Chains A and B, each alone.
Chain A
Amino acid sequence: MLEAWEFILRRPELLAEWVLAHLWIIFVAIIIAVILGVFLGIFITGKGREQIADSVLYLAEIAMTIPSLALFGLLMLLLGSMGLKSIGFLPAVIALVVYGQLPILRNTYTAIRAVDPAMVEAGRGMGMTERQILFKIELPLAVPVIMAGIRTSIVLLIGIATIAAFIGASGLGVPIFRGIRNARMDLILIGGISVSILALIIDGLMALVERRITPKGLKVGRQ
């Protein structure tokens, strides 16, 4: 423990580099995952798409059960065979997008489906177009739940991103793997504890965002 602390004091710039690299991978991955997940989530709530919805959600669930180590390995080979960069940043981001998909996708889908049908009917009956129903009623009401999905996703990715070091991406996985190989307890501790602290801080921040973004009308009530 003491050695870990000494290491940080000795090489703070190294820790900063790992943390930033870690955050950058997650940032890029989550942006892509949100765009993909929300779009797909909205798409599968459409009329007559119940079966597509089932299949898509099922696929996303299966993706989550693939061991992360195996997925990183698979992507390495796959990208390699396509002539793309098979190690480092690119496969890491792709793997994280796959993992981060389910909570966002499922929450978007569930939240839109959970909107009171009476509101949708009233909207339609007053002459809203399907697009207006989506943007004026369904999405505003679904936003808090979608945010909660994004939050879950981010926290999940912070942990999984450590494994990206295995395929040559930077981040907090680097000291952990280095520590394991060289039997350096301090490095493992630095990596592990930093990941936990990072997860806690970001989760807290996201909780604040979630509360801010919830429409006021949903927070008040006489019940």
Chain B
Amino acid sequence: MIKLEKVTKVYADGTKAVDEMSFEVDQGELCVFLGPSGCGKTTTMKMINRLIPITGGNIYIDGVDNTKINASELRRNIGYAIQEIGLFTHMTVGQNIETVPVLKGWSKSRRRERAEELLELVRMKPSEFIDKYPNELSGGQRQRVGVARALGTDPPILLMDEPFGAIDPINRVELQSEFLKIQQKIKKTIIFVTHDIYEAIKMGDRIALMKDGKLVQYDTPANLLYRPKDEFVEGFVGADRALKGLQLLRVKEVMTGTYATAKMGEKTEVVRERMEKEGIDWLPVVDNSGRFTGGVSISDLTGGRAKTVKDVITPSEAKSDINAVLNEALSLMLSSGLKTLPIVVEDNRLAGILTFDAIQETLHEAVKTGGTK
């Protein structure tokens, strides 16, 4: 647990970079420091591992004042990843990851084992990458190695300063999602600095929104979006906060679970009757074991001499995983032109459907009541 108590930083020239900042970050939580440049977010982060000396107040790590611990010792127990990554170009990927293990005097075999384990964690094949040099890697790969290196000796706390800031947007989204999956496994206490509101909403369990060295609002992403404390927060999250909320919701929270389906072998008249009775014009089709295979619309079933669903099915690729973020599913609906998006679980089993109506209803509810998370 990290506790900040009236943390203040005044530079020699009198500039107040951080002004009496107080809050706590719970164990295993990912806390995002968010704000415009110059708001003090990086300065605050660097006071935690004492890269920047504190001038007022205290920072406690698991109850211990961090100025009471030897600076190098403190830093070896706090993972550190920065936007510029700073991989050592004269060392191999393996040697880079082993930096802190070496500093802590781990044995050679234990270090190597750990490096391989960490490469696996960031989804890089150890045998292929461990002896490569940073200059032989792509930007995304370097960033992964940077994260792996920060986790070198499995520190309980991780400080990350815009770790995905230098990556192109497509890879960034992927790295963010991957990192969230990793975090579910490793459950570190993380300080994550960013100026990107989307990144903050996606990554954060809690967001500390800062302005001019002061903490403006410290809250969950949902509360920040739907219950902004003042005009600055409202302005910062943007007029499209309802849309940004799409990032907060998972498909499973919005979808309709029980829904009529058509079976591959069913007679067309039977299916048509069912659709007319329910008043819908499209049905997902499943095979005998419940796997999603495509869809039929009512126009396919009227007329013609088709006997079974199998003859008229439109095989469909568009579908969404039940754990996907809502904005990804919505984007898929818009681009594929589907009004009804099939939702699947593992093994392609149909779990339900997602409709525009359901999305609209949920978001409206969220804005009205102030969040769902």
Contacts and interface: CB of A to CB of B under 8 A. Distances in A.
Given A118-B84, A223-B135, A125 B51 contact: yes
Contacts of B91: 217
Given A125-B82, A128-B103, A218 B51 contact: no
- Counting chain B CB atoms within 10 Å of each CB, the highest count among A120, A121, A122, A216 belongs to A122
B75 A125 contact: yes
Contacts of B103: 126-128, 132
A206 interface: no
B75 A220 contact: no
Interface in B55-72: 72
Interface residues of B, number: 32
A209 to B, nearest CB: 17
A119 B86 contact: yes
A2 B100 CA distance: 67
A118 B85 CA distance: 7
A137 B88 contact: yes
Contacts of B159: 125
B99 A221 contact: no
B72 A129 contact: yes
A127 B76 contact: yes
Interface string B84-95: 111111111000
A218 B82 contact: no
Contacts of B73: 127
Interface in A189-223: 215-218, 220-223
A116 interface: yes
A126 B71 CA distance: 10
B164 interface: no
- Counting chain B CB atoms within 10 Å of each CB, the highest count among A121, A140, A216 belongs to A121
A124 interface: yes
B365 interface: no
A141 interface: yes
A168 interface: no
A118 B72 contact: no
Given A125-B82, A126-B76, A218 B152 contact: no
Interface string B32-76: 000000000000000001010000000000000000000011111
Interface string A102-123: 0000000000000010111111
A122 B103 CA distance: 14
A217 B87 CA distance: 11
Interface string B126-148: 00000001111110000000000
A218 B80 contact: no
22 contacts: A118-B82, A118-B84, A119-B89, A122-B87, A122-B149, A124-B51, A125-B49, A125-B75, A126-B152, A127-B76, A129-B72, A137-B88, A140-B90, A141-B89, A216-B90, A217-B89, A217-B92, A217-B134, A218-B135, A221-B133, A221-B135, A222-B138
Interface of A: 116, 118-129, 132, 136-137, 140-141, 215-218, 220-223
Closest 9 CB pairs of A and B: A122-B86, A127-B76, A118-B84, A118-B86, A215-B90, A127-B75, A125-B80, A217-B133, A221-B135
Given A122-B86, A125-B82, A217-B88, 13 more contacts: A119-B86, A122-B87, A124-B75, A126-B75, A127-B73, A127-B77, A127-B100, A141-B89, A217-B90, A217-B92, A218-B90, A220-B133, A220-B136
